[in-house]
Structure 1
């Protein structure tokens, strides 16, 4: 090659340059794709985390609970407000009211209202509960309240709480105050009440007092405290 002749460039130079350019472009494209995938995954994870947090926010709340402590037995119970919405809670409230009416009618002793209380507790009783009630006031029973209390004693009932053990059983805590000429005796009780609702036909006057057909099938009470509270009459 002379000085006047132009330099001849090897064709492989261009091909090598083209391959290098394609290699660099491919590397950049791959890197860009990897980072794009990572960004998409991180974005999806962030959206999922925010959505999960949004779903969990209603679960975290603070409720004010009022605790009641029985001064005699020390029993602690949380007062539960009635929720405006929710059929189950409303049904429980109605059932509680029926149980309270039954216990008051069965455990109250007042000679003036004895017939009314007996009729109402009989209306709310069936099966074994009805048999026990009839046996309690049977003339042959020496523990008949009319024999043990007589005409000058009054027993009043104060309901403390009703707790549902299942959909057919409730536990009731109540106290009875027996007032006579000798003084006042306060006793504390726990009762298990098994109940049901029936649609069997009944007389209209019975339906007025028991419109939903509430019936107690079994009733048992036990003393919550062994020693009753006695208050003697001062002379």
Structure 2
């Protein structure tokens, strides 16, 4: 048997060892690759289950809200309102509600007229909510001539302002930009105090820019009218091209003459829970008071 034994050279042993090491490395790589594949598969399954659970959790939150589009053919205006079962659940941003309230109040006070309340209501709103330039243009209307409101309308006729729409300018919700102005479409109605009838006069578009000045210094009496320092920096009124189809002086049967809420609004009743504002030490010059309306009793200053 010794005759068949062959001695393996060192070179052959080295080659055999390398081949065995190669096979071992290949098997090890296959096992590692298989392990990584299982890890990825299990991770994908877990992620898929998590995403499926999140979608199933959010499905009940998805709600289809129908919208009602109302078109007023007389005034060429339209409103879009969501239809909800619970009206009280409808939310509105506080800043948007405040802006709409301030804009509507200013336009109604600036363009309306009532001999009995103009000194104690309209003039105070305009004085506290406008800068000197805008306020000066308002004062120029009451120059005592035949075209001035107190001469033209007198005591028994009032001009009511009906705001149809308010569109804010400069608003960018994605960038967080606040509105810097508004475009207001409104109508003027002549209200006869002797018989309680309202007649349509004209339609207009008001373009205004405004800002909030928290450090604006004013009297406590005017601060109750404008607690947040709303200031109109420019104001312009143009005629509305898409005017109502009814003629001037013709009553509009689709609009109530004067509701109880409108009466309170035009009388200038303040909200009982109006917020107060603190004027810092570095306040701007105080707002000058408006002159008394010619022919009307002057409003006594606070504390007199």
Task: Please indicate, yes or no, whether the TM-score normalized by the shorter chain is above 0.5.
Answer: yes
Question: Do residues 127 (structure 1) and 132 (structure 2) align?
Answer: yes
Larger strand proportion, structure 1 or 2? 1
Q: Offset at 1:121?
A: 2.0
State the TM-score, normalizing by the size of structure 1: 0.71
Distance 2:50 2:131 in 1: 54
User: Which residue of structure 1 aligns with residue 190 of structure 2?
Assistant: 178
Indicate yes or no: 2:106 matched with 1:102: yes
2:43 paired with 1:27: no
Q: What are structure 2's unaligned runs of at least 5 residues? A: 83-89, 171-178, 252-304
- What per-residue deviation string (whole Å, max 9, x for no partner) do you get for residues 47-95 of structure 1? 788889969x98x965636454340344334458544xxxxx3233222
Alpha-carbon distance, 1:118 to partner: 2.6
Which of 152, 155, 162 is equivalent to 1:158? 162
SS of residue paired to 1:95: helix
SS in structure 1 at match of 2:116:
helix
1:217 deviates by: 1.7
**TM-align CA RMSD:** 4.0
Hey, what does 1:224 align to over in structure 2?
240
- Pair 1:93–1:152, CA change in 2 (3 A): same
Q: Secondary structure of 2:131's match? A: coil
Partner of 1:75: 77
Shift of 1:23: 3.2
Q: TM-score, normalised by structure 2?
A: 0.57
Closer/same/farther in 2, CA of residues 223 and 51 from structure 1, 3 Å limit: farther
Residues 34 and 7 (structure 1), Cα distance of their counterparts in 2 relative to 1, 3 Å cut: same
Distance 2:19 2:168 in 1: 81
Q: Deviations over 1:179-223 (max 9, x none)?
A: 458972153332112122232321121112222222212111223
Contact 2:189 2:198 in 1 (8 A): no
Q: CA 1:156/1:70 → structure 2, altered by over 3 Å: closer, same or farther? A: farther
Larger relative contact order (Cα-Cα within 8 Å, sequence gap ≥ 6): 2
Q: Distance in 1 between matches of 2:147 and 2:42?
A: 79
Residue 15 of structure 1 deviates from its aligned partner by: 7.2
Relative to structure 1, the CA distance from residue 91 to residue 63 in structure 2 (aligned partners, 3 Å threshold; closer, same or farther) is: farther
**Per-residue deviation, 1:96:** 2.0
Of the two, which has the highest radius of gyration? 1
Q: Which secondary structure state, in structure 2, belongs to the residue aligned with residue 111 of structure 1?
A: coil
Note closer, same or farther for the CA distance 1:79–1:186 as it changes in structure 2 (3 Å cut): farther
Richer in helix (by share): 1
* Secondary structure of residue in 2 paired with 1:96: helix
Matches within 5 A, 1:44-63: none
Aligned residues: 222
Q: 2:116 aligns with which of 93, 105, 112?
A: 112
Distance verdict in 2 for CA 1:222–1:69, change over 3 Å: farther
1:112 alignment partner, SS class = coil
